[in-house]
Amino acid sequence: MDEVLLRSLTPSVLTILVRRGADFAAAEDAVQDALVEAVRVWPDDPPRDPKGWLVTVAWRKFLDATRADTARRRREDVVEDEPVPGPVSGTDDTLQLYFLCAHPSLTPSSAVALTLRAVGGLTTRQIAQAYLVPEATMAQRISRAKRTVSDVRFDQPGDVATVLRVLYLVFNEGYSGDVDLAAEAIRLTRQLAAAIDHPEVAGLLALMLLHHARRAARTAADGSLVPLASQDRALWDTRLIAEGVEILQAALARDRLGEFQAQAAIAALHADAPTAGETDWPQIVEWYDELVRLTGSPIVRLNRAVAVGEADGPRAGLAALAELDDTLPRYAAVAAHLHERDGDLALAARLYADAAERAADPAERDHLTRQAARLSRSS
């Protein structure tokens, strides 16, 4: 059974059902039923036309469910005739499905869940496991999301920026359970890049590849975090780095700069440095200036303060940090890093301890606690 093939066909099968008149919620349920049937049947009797087989079975599932529901009997005027099984159109409406699943009426968490289910082809159990919530909770979330978008016209223009943010949220979840969400986000973004010619889509794909290339070096054997400056760069995936840089260069050449391209440029500069000490920090600061201009984000300004501290010295970084709200996430951790570089180890230790108390991620909390203990012993 080729699970990758099944998941790659899911969005196009779903869009065909919607185009034929099925509402989104009913179509998505029918496609999931067809996938279950494929898992049961295909190992012993693989179809010659997998997509056509899925469309035929999903359409039958939809018709059966519709006819069984007397409250929806009037829909049979639209879907009375079952198409003859056979080859299906090669038209791919996956892009519209991305837009639908990232509809602005959905919360970010619901948009992510619906994208993973409808576009990614993941089961509710897999999504629930990845997000560490009960399956019933995730089922309710997905059900509400499907109801929310069921009345949305499928041919309405979508917002590429919203789709990209949803995919970036998926990527940042990383790995949990039996689903590698970082790899899944890359797969879906590749799919989106094939469907739409947009420099920011390319920028996001490049960013994902460049970050993913460092994955093997991010944690030590005991599971503890390894900061970027301390990572073993021999563990970085040079193939992914080369691909990410190539995609980024092509996007930047179009002179339509966006925030994901700018973030990818920063990641590329880190990847290009043979050692941490050879990092081109002044150029990274310039890219952060572009990001600030594009987004105005306080988190971007916080990261810029770190880069300024590396390019112009810790006191310049602290001056940039002083302009920001000290309640920002990771503010205390950045302040601790800059004060340590400035030689105030006692203050840095207290700030690391404070940052550890505020950290939500257990691995980050453990790392910050270790930093505080290390400096407490030194001061």
The DSSP secondary structure of 150-184, one letter per residue, reads TTS-TTS---HHHHHHHHHHHHHT-EETTEEHHHH
Sorted by where each begins, the domain ranges of the chain are 1-92, 296-379
Torsion of CA 47, 48, 54, 60, to 10 degrees: -80
For the ranges 94-98, 141-145, 202-206, 312-316, the lowest mean pLDDT is seen at 94-98
What is the rounded average pLDDT of the residues 315-337?
96
Residue 57 has pLDDT above 60, yes or no: yes
Whether pLDDT at 236 is above 90? yes
Contacts made by residues 139-148, CB under 8 angstroms, sequence distance 24+: 141/109, 141/110, 141/113, 142/110, 142/113, 142/114, 142/117, 143/25, 144/110, 145/101, 145/106, 145/110, 145/111, 145/113, 145/114, 146/24, 146/25, 146/28, 146/114, 147/25, 148/103, 148/105, 148/106, 148/110
Name the more confident of 201 and 46.
201
Percent over 90 (pLDDT), the chain: 54
pLDDT at 354 over 80: yes
pTM given for the model: 0.81
Residue 127, pLDDT > 90, answer no
272/181: higher pLDDT? 272
Q: Higher model confidence: residue 292 or residue 15?
A: 292
Could you report the per-residue pLDDT of 250-297, keeping only the tens digit for each? 999 999 999 999 999 999 999 999 999 999 999 999 999 999 999 999
* Lowest model confidence (mean pLDDT) among 37-46, 150-159, 190-199, 201-210: 150-159
Decide if 294 contacts 262 (C-beta within 8 A): yes
pLDDT-derived band at 152 (thresholds 50, 70, 90) equals: confident
Task: Give me the pLDDT at residue 97, please.
Answer: 83
Percent above pLDDT 70 for the chain: 89
Q: Residues 6 or more apart from 204 whose CB is under 8 A from it?
A: 164, 167, 168, 189, 260, 264
At residue 88, the pLDDT reads 44
Mean pLDDT in the chain?
87
Task: Name the pLDDT band for 83 (thresholds 50, 70, 90).
Answer: very low
Give the Cα separation of 302 and 308 in Å (integer): 10
Residue 342 pLDDT grade (very low, low, confident, very high; cuts 50, 70, 90): very high
